[in-house]
Amino acid sequence: MTPIPSSKKTASLRSGIIFISIIGLILCITVLFPQVRRTILEFAMQFFHRQTIMYESWSNALVKFALGGIGLILFLDYCTLTASGRALVGKVKQEFADSLSEMDFRSLWKPLILMFVIYLLGILTLIRANFSYNDDIGRSIVGMREWYNFSRYVTVFLSYIFQPEISLTDISPIPQLLAAFILACSSVLLVYVLGNKKITVVKLLASIPLGLSPYFLECLAFKFDAPYMTLPILSSIIPFLFIDRKRAFVFASVGSLLIMCMTYQALSGVYLLIAIMLGFQDWNSRKKSNKEILSFLGTAAFAYGFALLLFKFFIMRSTGTYVSTEMLPLPQLIPGLLSNIKNFAITVNADLGVVWKAGIALVLLFFIVQSIRQSAQTKFFSFLLSILVLILAFIASYGIYSLLTTPLYHPRALSGFGIFLAIVCIYAVSRNGIKSTGIVVLALNWCFFVFAFSYGNALADQARYAEFRITLFLNDISHLYPNSNSEELSIQLENSIDFTPSVKNIAKQYPVIERLVQKRFGKDDGNIWDGYYYRRCFGFTCKSNISWKEGYIDFRTLNLSVVADTYYHTIQSDGKHILVTLKH
């Protein structure tokens, strides 16, 4: 057979690319027409068996996707159809290949196994508790994949890879095991990047707050979401493997940051934390000139800003849920930013116990001392800049949430603080110096490790107590209305059950536990999943009257008769409306 000349192959390939590009552009342009968008959304409702959909929000999102698609097609055409574009692609590929060839991947296996075992032990009680945390309840009962409400499209895509069926099912502990593996990879690569490609056991142990801080433990408590909430840490670290080659670093940064934005935006500060610390290390050791350091920081800032702008204008859809996606307006930017940072600091301070605060204060002090001891700069300037770096890193750990009009302060939203501590701990033990530094760092991280066990056991204990209270309540309801159609009943809960004695005992030392443990049975205007849990998981289909829903009536104003009064609750009813006052 006569071989086809390479020129003809190239011409055929170019023709194919042009044809596909034209089809893609036509499809993207047609989406810009309102009637086409309506047809797409109606089809989506039928396919996913949805009765309603937020048309305006999704219509705007489709416009963004179409515009982003047009831009992506034009960029790919530039890279494949023009000489300068092909030259750029060739240089970037070569830089990626050169960077990867310099890494000794075989040396990473033992550290990876070590950290996987540590994280696996850390979440052992969480796995044993088998606790359906918040959204886990809806995902296990209904099989919903509503991550797209927060523009987490990579999460949706990956969830279909692990579970290809339309509805999700509970496959735990596989997601938690995957999360532990991703955390192990993240710890190893973070030490590799910050430690100038040198990995030691002490540095690895110093990185434990990355995955076992009290805030990130809430992410690991989610049986369905855990691996997708862990992935942004790894994706934010990976670009720094290519730090010595600018083109590869920029492309890796933009791609990895977009993955972060489309999985879990609360970890948007990890990239900034690493960039700040690497810049400080290079300045303090005079490994690079000031010009090179500023060039690196400028490149990182450009990649970060560019990725966030791409996400905001072409990918993100607005949400009207419990957290805002709106940025602070320019006139309120500075005071709003300062207010958010202040609230962030106050929340962290209130959450941490005395032992943790003392350990963190010592670690921060050792960071400053280590910076001065290792400095090739003037000691005074090193002292001042090390303090400034700690302040900037603490602010950066909150990520883009500090710029939102209504930021989130749930424990999982503060996960960046754990990465901040991990980075500080790694730097504090980075070189031989004061022996007490390693002792303090490892002691602090041991406290985090122990708390992880307490947390898992606390969830299990609270779940046991909640199910006991729910069982008593449903038993009384079944006796009061044995033959009634529960759909005709409307229920409202007043108060919530208390924490168990074991949780209260933990809270004496670690106040954050009361924000991490769900009570599971209480007012529906608190945690909506509490009400959903007792109504759906126990087969009780009575309607719930929730304060933030249309048509809400406060049953306390109806002067209902007391039909049952027990040690645990009081039930008032008129046959259709039920008011349950829970007693502590």
Residue 525: which pLDDT band, with cuts at 50, 70 and 90? low
Percent of the chain having pLDDT more than 70? 92
On the question of pLDDT at 363 being above 90, the answer is yes
**One domain for residues 14 and 147:** no
Q: Is residue 573 part of a domain?
A: yes
Tens digits of residue pLDDT in 4-19: 555 677 778 888 889 9
Q: How confident is the model over 237-256, as a mean pLDDT?
A: 96
**One domain for residues 77 and 94:** no
Residue 63: which pLDDT band, with cuts at 50, 70 and 90? confident
Q: Report the distance separating Cα 511 and Cα 354, nearest Å.
A: 10
Q: How confident is the model over 378-392, as a mean pLDDT?
A: 94
Count of the separate structural domains present in the chain: 3
Tens digits of residue pLDDT in 71-93: 999 999 999 889 999 999 999 99
Which one of 48, 81, 114 terminates a domain? 81
Q: Is residue 327 part of a domain?
A: yes
**One domain for residues 101 and 64:** no
Residue 320: per-residue pLDDT: 57
Tens digits of residue pLDDT in 469-503: 999 998 998 888 876 555 577 888 888 899 999 99
Tokens read off for 253 = 């940064």
Q: Is residue 559 part of a domain?
A: yes
Q: Report the distance separating Cα 318 and Cα 297, nearest Å.
A: 30
Q: What is the largest CA-CA distance in the chain?
A: 94
Of all residues in the chain, what percent are helix, strand and coil, respectively (each to 5)? 70, 5, 25
Residue 572 three-state SS: strand
Residue 567 three-state SS: coil
**One domain for residues 279 and 394:** yes
Lowest mean pLDDT among 58-72, 88-102, 183-197, 262-276: 58-72
| Contact between 221 and 126 (Cβ < 8 Å) | yes
**One domain for residues 107 and 207:** yes
Tokens read off for 211 = 């995955």
Residue 1: which pLDDT band, with cuts at 50, 70 and 90? very low
Q: Is the peptide bond before 173 cis (omega within 30 degrees of 0)?
A: yes
**One domain for residues 218 and 344:** yes
Lowest mean pLDDT among 37-46, 156-165, 508-517: 37-46
Which one of 81, 104, 137 terminates a domain? 81
Residue 524: per-residue pLDDT: 65
For 60-115, the DSSP string reads HHHHHHHHHHHHHHHHHHHHHHSHHHHHHHHHHHHHHHHHHHT--GGGGHHHHHHH
| Ramachandran area for residue 134 (φ above 0: left; ψ -120 to 50: alpha; else beta) | left
**One domain for residues 272 and 399:** yes
Q: Is residue 450 part of a domain?
A: no
Q: Which of 466, 507, 484, 493 is nearest to 572 (CA)?
A: 493
Q: E-strand spans in 427-552?
A: 490-494, 543-544
Q: How confident is the model over 180-196, as a mean pLDDT?
A: 96
**One domain for residues 292 and 385:** yes
Residue 360: per-residue pLDDT: 96
Burial bucket for residue 27 (CB in 10 Å: 0-12, 13-18, 19+)? middle
Which one of 384, 402, 433 terminates a domain? 433
Residue 217 three-state SS: helix
For 272-332, the DSSP string reads HHHHHHHHHHHHHHTSS-HHHHHHHHHHHHHHHHHHHHHHHHHT-----SSS--PBPPGGG
Residue 540: per-residue pLDDT: 75
Residues in the chain: 584
Q: Report the distance separating Cα 100 and Cα 408, nearest Å.
A: 38
| Contact between 200 and 425 (Cβ < 8 Å) | no
Mean pLDDT, the chain, whole residue set: 89
Q: Is residue 401 part of a domain?
A: yes
| Contact between 126 and 455 (Cβ < 8 Å) | yes
Lowest mean pLDDT among 36-45, 48-57, 126-135, 459-468: 48-57
On the question of pLDDT at 508 being above 60, the answer is yes
Q: Report the distance separating Cα 101 and Cα 414, nearest Å.
A: 36
Residue 303: per-residue pLDDT: 97
Residue 235: per-residue pLDDT: 97
Residue 165: per-residue pLDDT: 79
| Contact between 474 and 561 (Cβ < 8 Å) | no
**One domain for residues 56 and 123:** no
Q: How many Cα atoms are found within 13 Å in the side-chain-facing hemisphere of 523?
A: 11
Residue 344: which pLDDT band, with cuts at 50, 70 and 90? very high
For 563, the domain range is: 455-582
Residue 396: per-residue pLDDT: 96
| Contact between 340 and 404 (Cβ < 8 Å) | yes
Tokens read off for 247 = 């083109």
| Contact between 521 and 530 (Cβ < 8 Å) | yes
**One domain for residues 133 and 217:** yes
Rounded to whole angstroms, what are the CA distances from 273 to 240, 279, 297, 390?
A: 12, 10, 11, 10
Strand order in the sheet with 577-582: 543-544, 490-494, 577-582, 569-573, 561-565
How many angstroms from the chain centroid is the CA of residue 173? 19
Residue 156 three-state SS: helix
Tens digits of residue pLDDT in 280-336: 999 999 989 999 999 999 999 999 999 999 999 998 877 655 566 788 888 899 999
**Neighbour count for residue 358 (Cβ, 10 Å):** 13
Radius of gyration of the chain (CA): 27
The tokens 């805002």 sit on which residue? 324
**One domain for residues 281 and 148:** yes
Residue type, 174: I
Q: Report the distance separating Cα 366 and Cα 303, nearest Å.
A: 32
Residue 130 three-state SS: coil
Q: Is residue 443 part of a domain?
A: no
On the question of pLDDT at 464 being above 80, the answer is yes
Q: Is residue 448 part of a domain?
A: no
Tens digits of residue pLDDT in 372-382: 988 888 999 99
On the question of pLDDT at 398 being above 80, the answer is yes
Residue 484: per-residue pLDDT: 55
Tens digits of residue pLDDT in 417-456: 999 999 999 999 987 656 788 899 999 999 999 999 999 9
Q: Is residue 313 part of a domain?
A: yes
On the question of pLDDT at 189 being above 80, the answer is yes
* 3-state SS track over 170-193: CCCCHHHHHHHHHHHHHHHHHHHH
**One domain for residues 346 and 492:** no
DSSP at 512: T
Residue type, 78: Y
Residue 458: per-residue pLDDT: 96
Residue 97: per-residue pLDDT: 94
Burial bucket for residue 50 (CB in 10 Å: 0-12, 13-18, 19+)? exposed
Q: How confident is the model over 139-167, as a mean pLDDT?
A: 86
